[in-house]
Amino acid sequence: MTAIGGILALVATIGMMVFGVQILIKAFQESVWWGLGYLCVPFVGLIYIVMFWDDTKKPFLYSLACVPVLVLGAVLLGAFSGDMSAGM
């Protein structure tokens, strides 16, 4: 089961990265300043997503859909990896 958990976590992480890059590309297409702000300034990404919701809705929601898959993968990894506190 740990292999399945690792695969789920990896797929979800890759999915979130892909959709994050899609939003980053849209920010740079809007302007260089939006793109740099998205990369360097905290919360500018959220402001950009809210202000340009029509353009960013699809990749943002797909990214959010990856979160439960990531959590499931992490739970499967942790639940079947063995009891780490048994030796203490």
For the chain, give every domain's residue range: 2-77
Average pLDDT over residues 38-51: 95
- pLDDT, one tens digit per residue, over 14-26 is 999 999 999 999 9
| CA pseudo-torsion sign 38, 44, 45, 50 | negative
Would you state the pLDDT for residue 73?
Answer: 93
Q: Give the predicted TM-score (pTM) of the model.
A: 0.81
State mean pLDDT over 79-84.
64
- Closest CA relative to residue 46, chosen from 29, 63, 32, 67: 63
